[in-house]
Amino acid sequence: MRVAGAVDIGGTTVKVGIVGEDGAVLDRMELPTSAGGEPAPLVTDIARGLRSLIDAEIARGRSVSAVGVAVAGFLDDARGSMIENANLTALCGFPLKDALTKKLGLDCILEVDSNAAVVAEHRFGAGRGAERLLGVTVGTGLGGGVVIDGELLRYTGQCAGDLGHIIVAPEGRRCTCGSRGCLEAMVCAAALAERAGKRPAREVIDSARNGDRASLDALAETGWWLGLGLAALSPVFAPRTIVVGGGIGMAGDLLLEPARASYRAHAASGVADRVTIVGSPLGGWSGMVGAGSLALNPMR
């Protein structure tokens, strides 16, 4: 089986692993994104972590042929650098692809994290084989990717655009992009934490699973905004399947049931009956899985 190194650089955490061509995660680790806020130390940390996993694969008798790197934000036309992301400003304009290629001594491909995540869902996850698939990843921010008839939709920043920055609440939370009431601002980890007394999002999700009313209410409100945003995006992309992943998506139906109800309330007549909203089965690792898969089998 062919295997690839895989990296998913998010606003808070970097996920690093080894991914098989069947989408299986063979090894993995997590690193903090910070690295002092500078790109070079972050690249060094990523390369060191991934090299340890690659060396372990070689010891097992498997060679790693390439590396896929997913990063949150728009990419330049050559897909060599991330050029825009309010949550990862230090990486903007940095030659990330070349830097990692040099550090690792392996061919690297760079992809928008929302694209990588939706490819993983299309190939291995809840959107497998869907003709019109919208995937959203909810965590530090909200990203979205679209696959139509087996092809990634690319028209802004090498992706489907900044779907998290449609405005759903003009008087809502201030977003990191500078606007107010973006979908991202209303459903991100920070928004969920605020609704639950400023507790960490993971703690909120765990408490909700144990029946804590305040946590359940915080997830329900977050899901309501998510459903509204998905209803707003549907006339643009006409998805038949919507997959929700990411750290907040790990809440499963505690988030998705309110989101589905909100979607039904806000979507145009007849649309909700044609759309299925499901959670990701990939455990928050869809961006990394997609990055590795794309390194082995590119999608235009």
Residues 36 and 167 in one domain: no
Q: Supply the DSSP string of 193-236, one letter for each residue.
A: HHHTTS--HHHHHHHHHTT-HHHHHHHHHHHHHHHHHHHHHHHH
Sign of the Cα torsion 121, 122, 126, 132 reads: positive
Instruction: Determine the pLDDT at residue 152.
Output: 97
What's the pLDDT score for residue 270? 84
Residue 89 near residue 33 (C-beta atoms within 8 A): no
Number of domains within the chain: 2
Query: 13 and 105: one domain?
Result: yes
Sign of CA dihedral 93, 113, 27, 201: positive
CA angle, 85 as apex, 81 and 87 as ends, to 5°? 125
Instruction: For residue 121, tell me if it sits in a domain.
Output: no
Q: Which two tokens stand for residue 199?
A: 């507790």
- Regarding whether 206 and 162 lie in a shared domain, the answer is yes
Per-residue pLDDT of the chain (300 residues), as tens digits, is: 899 999 999 888 999 999 999 999 999 999 998 755 688 899 999 999 999 999 999 999 999 989 999 998 899 999 999 998 877 888 899 999 999 999 999 999 999 999 999 999 999 999 999 999 999 999 989 999 999 999 999 989 999 999 999 999 999 999 999 999 999 999 999 999 999 999 999 999 999 999 999 999 999 999 999 999 999 999 999 999 999 999 999 999 999 999 999 999 999 888 888 999 999 999 889 999 999 999 999 987
Q: What are phi and psi of 38, to 5 degrees?
A: -110, 145
What are the residues facing 68 on neighbouring strands? 6, 109
Domain of residue 84 covers 3-116+285-296
Dihedral of CA 10/12/13/14: which sign?
Answer: positive
Residue 33 shares a structural domain with residue 95: yes
CATH number for position 219: 3.30.420.40
> In a 3-state reduction of DSSP, which class is residue 150?
coil
Distances, alpha carbon 128 to alpha carbons 25, 50, 133, 284, 287, in Å: 17, 28, 9, 17, 15
Residue 134 class from Cβ within 10 Å (0-12 exposed, 13-18 middle, 19+ buried)? buried
Same domain for 187 and 48?
no
Find out whether 35 and 45 touch, Cβ atoms under 8 Å.
yes
Kindly report the pTM of this predicted structure: 0.94
The structure tokens listed for 210 are 């144990």
Contact present, 276 and 106 (Cβ < 8 Å): no
Same structural domain, 91 and 174: no
4: enclosing H helix or E strand: strand 3-9
Residue 1: the pLDDT is: 85
CA distances from 155 to 74, 78, 91, 159, 160 (A): 11, 13, 21, 6, 6
Query: Is the domain of 135 the same as that of 112?
Result: no
First to last CA, the chain: 23
**Residue 78 pLDDT:** 95
* 231 phi/psi in degrees, rounded to 5: -65, -35
Residue identified by tokens 């992301």 is: 85
So what's the pLDDT on residue 35? 53
**What burial class does residue 65 get, using C-beta atoms within 10 Å of its C-beta: 0-12 exposed, 13-18 middle, 19+ buried?**
middle
Task: Let me know whether 152 and 9 are in one domain.
Answer: no
Based on the fold, state whether residues 136 and 63 are members of the same structural domain: no
Note the pLDDT of residue 84.
Answer: 86
